[in-house]
Copies of this chain bind each other. A is one copy, B any other.
Amino acid sequence: MSLPAYESLTLKATRVELKDGVVVVTLTRSKERNTFTKDLVNEIVLLFDLFDKDDRVRVVVLTAEPNAPAYCAGADISGGWDGLWNPESEKEGEHAHRDSGGVVTLAIFRCRKITIAAVNGHAASPDCNSHLTSDLPWSGAKFALPFVREGIAPEAVSSYLLPKLLGTSRALSLFLSGATITVDSPLLQGLYHTLLPTKEEVFPAAYAFAQELAQNTSQTAIAVTKALVWHAADTIEEQHILDSRAIRSLGAAADGAEGTRAFKEKRAIKFPDTLSKNLPSWVPWWHELDIKHRKAKL
């Protein structure tokens, strides 16, 4: 498959810049507080699918413009929830609806690279800062999970992710109280890699972290590690058989050889393997459900 030759892209709701393995996605609808419009959703899905396939990309940084009033204000419900239903799925019935927050989360979830959310403003819903890998937010950023106060269910597969990420106790406290808290709350402790004291420090810190990871991590090792965590076996014995095979496959590949050689020679590392050419043939070991209506067998 051929990918568009891009170094930078300017789309309707986002701006993209790729350099040295790090791609930065900036949400550009600052005036609309980066609400979850159809454009934004479509672009995020398209971009993360692209980054997944583009071997040049090692780390994705997701951020808002420095002076944006919010990092992401969630769905635009000024016209009520009805504005969110898709006319095509409406013909089928309510079971055909697909929450756009979840569509975005799944696109980020499917992308086998590292994603760092540089949350440099308030986030009115977990849609954008999906906590799927390593986020660096501003410690004063407000984080809202207002669903039960809006008469609706949690968006963006957060009812699946948050209990696993944080434990069910804090997830339930947040969901059932419909909390709006700052990200330095003890209820979120451990959700973020690092908290930054000011908005201004967030992007530079996230970008430096991204550059360091792009230079020093193996693309295949990252993809397999994410998969071992999110698609773990049912029992510890099965996982042992799975991770043993992963260690044997990756250890015998070029990245594994470079890993020990660079360590021995005490020099900077340069991993040659790419996802498109060097991922072991038995990955993925799980079956992924197609979420498109009529393709999803449930």
Binding site for B on A (CB under 8 A): 77-78, 80-82, 84-85, 94-95, 97-99, 102-103, 105-106, 109, 114, 131-134, 147-155, 157, 159-161, 163-173, 175-178, 186-187, 189-191, 193, 209, 213, 216-218, 220-222, 224-226, 228-230, 232-233, 235-241, 243-261, 263-264, 269, 271, 273, 288-291, 296, 298
Which of B132, B153, B249 makes the CB contact (< 8 A) with A247?
B153
A134 to B255, CA, bound (A): 35
A205 nearest CB across to chain B (Å):
13
A17 nearest CB across to chain B (Å):
22
Provide a sorted-by-A list of 26 A–B residue pairs whose CB atoms are within 8 angstroms: A77-B260, A80-B257, A81-B247, A81-B251, A85-B248, A98-B240, A133-B172, A134-B177, A149-B217, A149-B259, A149-B269, A150-B218, A150-B263, A151-B271, A154-B228, A157-B236, A159-B225, A160-B233, A160-B236, A165-B167, A165-B169, A166-B169, A170-B190, A172-B226, A178-B217, A237-B296
**7 tightest Cβ-Cβ pairs between the two chains A and B:** A151-B255, A81-B251, A151-B259, A153-B246, A150-B259, A159-B228, A165-B169
Instruction: Please state if A77 and B263 are interface contacts (CB–CB under 8 Å).
Output: yes
A189 to B237, CA, bound (A): 27
Instruction: Please state if A163 and B160 are interface contacts (CB–CB under 8 Å).
Output: no
Instruction: Please state if B175 and A225 are interface contacts (CB–CB under 8 Å).
Output: yes
A155 nearest CB across to chain B (Å):
6
Which of B152, B187, B225, B257 makes the CB contact (< 8 A) with A153?
B225
Chain B residues, Cβ within 8 Å of A163:
164, 229, 232
Chain B residues, Cβ within 8 Å of A193:
173, 177, 187
Chain A interface secondary structure, helix, strand, loop or mixed?
Answer: helix
Which of A217, A233, A269 is the most central at the interface, judged by chain B CB atoms within 10 Å of its CB? A217
A235 to B160, CA, bound (A): 8
Instruction: Please state if A258 and B151 are interface contacts (CB–CB under 8 Å).
Output: yes
Chain B residues, Cβ within 8 Å of A98:
240-241, 244
A75 nearest CB across to chain B (Å):
10
Residue of B nearest to A162 (CB): B229
Residue of B nearest to A269 (CB): B149
Instruction: Please state if A260 and B150 are interface contacts (CB–CB under 8 Å).
Output: yes
Chain B residues, Cβ within 8 Å of A218:
148-152
Known: A190-B189, A259-B151. A97 touches B245 (CB 8 A): yes
Instruction: Please state if B149 and A237 are interface contacts (CB–CB under 8 Å).
Output: no
